[in-house]
Structure 1
Amino acid sequence: MMQTVPDGVEVVADRERAERLDAPPLLVVDAVTAFLDARRLGRGPLAWRRIGDGHSNVTYLIRRGGDSFVLRRGPRPPLPRSTHDMVREARVQRLLRERGVPVPEILGVCEDESVLGVPFYLMSPLDGTVITDTVPAHLSSAEQRGATSRAVVDALVALHRIDVSGGELASLGRPEGYLARQVERFTGLWEINTTRSLPAVERIADWLGRNLPTGGRAAVVHGDYRMGNLMFAPQAPARVLAILDWEMATLGDPLADLGYLTATYAEPGTPRTPLELTPVTREPGYLPRARLIERYRAETGLDLTPLPWYQALALWKAAIFCEAIHTRWLRGERPEDTGFGPSLEAGVPRLLDLAARYAGLAGGGRD
């Protein structure tokens, strides 16, 4: 349901009310209205609704008159260094859209932090379905569930086939040394974003560093590629209408995306984790992980022998990312979060345990 009256905590009417709060709001109605006015986007009062299942960045559907927009912004400050870069995320999508990748159209970018406290961007809304804990009726048959799974893989294959050897796209990252930098960077993030001692983090980091794959060709790496970040067309057959949430995109090893997709993909008989954001794939009809992996291998011809390393990396990184969310919750920086943040006290060690299993470390991730 769309909201039209500010709640005084997450959404306020104006900057004066925002300055009275202990924690900054996520939307300031008059500031967003002025931003839309300057770009001649819609007319009249705003209505809004928070959308998406993300636990990091924040996304709102905005309606104004007969027009709709999607506003995406980072969480409340203070923000960890080099994360939640909305300006870069918008740029990535503009570049990929030019190359035929299914992404929303970017309508405007605000770099002025005085407007909402953080940069944000506006994009066009899409008429589609994101699959999380329910299956849309038009994709509910056994045939369409299988087709949905195949579409997930096929969209990833198409993304990884994009030529990144030249042009502005080549400036999005340094593929050389990508895997080593991932291990180094996330080790550092753990040290500044935790309030507790979990020795499994260092143990897995050491294993990852000692067993770095040689890596393959460079590709666009989404960084958070999963079914819940895909929007499907509103009618059968299953077709990916858009790939969403490009905050972590860079150039690197494409198997990092496959490792993340398959390590976080829910299937019957596997442990549940905080990263299980589309649990419906446990139901009959969806392809198991092994079939996803085989389809990707058949379409790309890549050697997937080292895939367990990438799966361990994915879950280890996810544990560190989730620990940052848990710490922000402990500090009172996520006042609207009554479920996910507190669940990570046990959820982060569970992710580390699964990462250790992929690494083949005796005793799992428990220390």
Structure 2
Amino acid sequence: MSDDQTDYFDRLVDLDALEAFLAAHLGSADVFEVDRHPGGHSNETLFVTWDDRNLVVRRPPPGETADTAHDVIRKYTVLEALQATHVPVPTTVVATEDHDIIGSDFYVMEKREGVVIRDDEPDQFATPTDRTRLGTEMIDTLAAIHTVDYETVGLEEFGRPDGFTQRQVDRWEQQYEWAFEVTAEAREIPAVHELTEWLQANVPSDHPHTLVHGDYKLDNVMFGPAGERNASSNERSSDAREQPPELEAVLDWEMSTIGDPFTDLGWLLSYWPDEDDATTKVGTAGDAEYLLREGYHSRAELVERYEQATGYRFENDRFYRALAYYKLGGIGEMFFRRHLEGNADDDHYPIMEERVPEMARRALQIIDGEG
């Protein structure tokens, strides 16, 4: 590591203190190694080898943090609650709020092995049969999340489901307003204002109260060989290519709460293209063109299976799909503000000057019944 990387690593973890903590909970180990995973997103990820056990430590970035996305104890709470349910999640080990150990709250879980799908389908799942199985796993797991008895598993105080959907619209309207303080000088987006008015006027008055993931999509789940979900890495088949896809674990519970399950479904659908979609790229939504290949579900098929699995009716699909694009556009507009202010060094951010208006127009097309 460079000197800067070493300094940052030292800010993340006191190795002696972490070793003592783990020994107290797991027993002593002859092998103790820690590596930082560079793709930790909102929180830092440390991979720990503890003899023959592979562990993951999640902690907030160093320094003061106010964002609820950094609340690792909250995330551990939902993971712990789901251990004995049908929702596949990593196995929890321990969590602590004692900052004397590594300088922050943190939790420890078992490391899971598998495939996270991002830019293209993995070779081992590239058959029509496997593609159908992949979509089935995605929607059945979402249904499992939404049918958990959250009170029985101890999550009755995990969120405020009443008024949840209205608060979603209000929150993202405020995010746009914050971004527009700067971005409006570069260009106006009348479609966003029209979309805001429609969403505010059409918030569903009633919805089921369920556990909500908040960011459920393909690159926030891990797939592994079928039939081996609970196997350790050294017990797995040596030829995973022979096994169809099985959803190994749902990851990234940063936005989880008790709320409206249809916001999850609308969000997933915004990332799942259909043959009749407009050809315009819309940034992070609808660009996974491999999902148009033979075998993958259409959005209608995903919805039909979801309704069968949950017993819920997805009656306000235009609202929830438009809301998903509204949220995606809000994220993009905040990115664009940071770009204009010189507070970001990311080639993706300036693209939002055109992409956010495209997302707003796409949402209006959905409202009008197109796609």
TM-score, normalised by the number of residues in structure 1:
0.79
Shift of 1:329: 5.5
Q: Which residue in 2 is equivalent to 1:321?
A: 331
Counterpart residue number, 2:36: 48
What does residue 6 of structure 2 align with? 12
Instruction: Give the 5 Å matches for 1:55-70.
Output: 56-63=42-49, 67-70=53-56
1:246 alignment counterpart: 253
1:272 alignment partner, one of 266, 269, 281: 281
Q: Distance in 1 between matches of 2:288 and 2:48?
A: 25
> Cα–Cα, structure 1 residues 358 and 77, in superposed 2: closer, same or farther, change >3 Å?
farther
Query: How many residue pairs align between the two structures?
Result: 341
Structure 2 unaligned regions, length at least 5: 226-239
1:147 aligns with 2:156: no
Cα deviation for residue 273 of structure 1 reads 2.8
Deviation at 1:244, TM superposition (A): 0.8
Does structure 1 retain, via aligned residues, the 8 Å contact 2:271–2:288? no
Q: In the alignment, what sits opposite 1:365?
A: none
Are 2:354 and 1:346 aligned?
yes
CA 1:47–1:78: 2 relative to 1, 3 Å: closer
- Structure 1 stretch displaced more, 195-204 or 175-184: 195-204
Once the two structures are superposed, what CA deviation does each residue of 1:266-316 show, in whole Å capped at 9, x if it has no partner? Answer: 345544333247553233321121221122123333222311100111111
Q: Aligned partners of 1:332, 1:107: CA distance in 2, in Å?
A: 41
Q: Is 1:208 aligned to 2:199, yes or no? A: yes
Aligned partners of 1:165, 1:29: CA distance in 2, in Å?
A: 35
Deviation at 1:217, TM superposition (A): 1.9
Give secondary structure in 2 for the equivalent of 1:273.
coil
Map 1:66-85 onto structure 2 (within 5 A).
Answer: 67-74=53-60, 81-85=67-71
The whole-number CA distance in structure 1 between the counterparts of 2:294 and 2:117 is 15
Runs of 5+ unmatched residues, structure 1: 14-24, 363-367
> Residue 183 of structure 2 aligns to which amino acid in structure 1?
R
Specify whether residues 140 and 250 from structure 1 end up closer, same or farther in structure 2 by C-alpha distance, changes over 3 A only.
Answer: same
Q: Deviations over 1:19-60 (max 9, x none)?
A: xxxxxx5773553663344223764453333247x5x55545
Query: Structure 1 residue 140: deviation in Å?
Result: 1.7
Larger relative contact order (C-alpha < 8 A, sep ≥ 6)? Answer: 2
Question: Cα distance, 1:83 vs. partner?
Answer: 3.6
Match of 2:183 among 181, 196, 215: 196
Change (3 A) 1:138 1:91: same
1:303 aligned to 305, 313, 321, which one?
A: 313
Q: CA deviation at 1:105?
A: 2.1
* Whole-angstrom CA distance in 2 between matches of 1:75 and 1:279: 34
Structure 1 partner of 2:22 = 39
**Structure 2 residue matching 1:223: 3-state secondary structure:** coil
Query: Does residue 91 in structure 1 map to residue 99 in structure 2?
Result: no
RMSD, matched Cα:
3.3
SS of equivalent to 1:132:
coil
Query: 2:191 & 2:103 partners in 1: Cα distance?
Result: 36
The share of aligned pairs that are identical, in percent, is: 30
TM-score between both structures, scaled by the size of structure 2: 0.78
Q: Distance in 2 between matches of 1:283 and 1:302?
A: 28
Residues 1:116 and 1:279: Cα distance change in structure 2 (over 3 Å): farther
Q: Give the Cα–Cα distance (whole angstroms) in 2 for the partners of residues 145 and 222 of structure 1.
A: 23
The separation in 2 between residues aligned to 1:58 and 1:330, in whole angstroms, is: 27
Q: For residues 309-347 of structure 1, give each alpha carbon's deviation from its aligned partner in whole angstroms, at most 9, with x where no partner exists.
A: 00111111122233334445556665xx53333433333
Q: In 2, are the aligned partners of 1:29 and 1:46 still within 8 Å (CA)? A: no
How far apart are the structure 1 equivalents of 2:192 and 2:101?
Answer: 38
User: 1:174 Cα shift?
Assistant: 1.6
SS in 2 for 1:171: coil
Give the letter for the 2:362 counterpart.
Answer: L
Q: In structure 2, what is the Cα distance between the partners aligned to 1:273 and 1:118?
A: 38
Summarize the Cα distance change of 1:280–1:361 in structure 2 as closer, same or farther, 3 Å threshold.
closer
8 Å CA contact 2:183–2:333 kept in 1: the answer is no
2:149 corresponds in structure 1 to 163
Determine the C-alpha separation between the residues in 1 that align with 2:101 and 2:339.
Answer: 24
Q: CA deviation at 1:172?
A: 0.9
SS in 2 for 1:97: coil
Given that residues 183 and 337 in structure 2 are in contact (C-alpha distance below 8 angstroms), is that contact kept between their aligned partners in structure 1? no
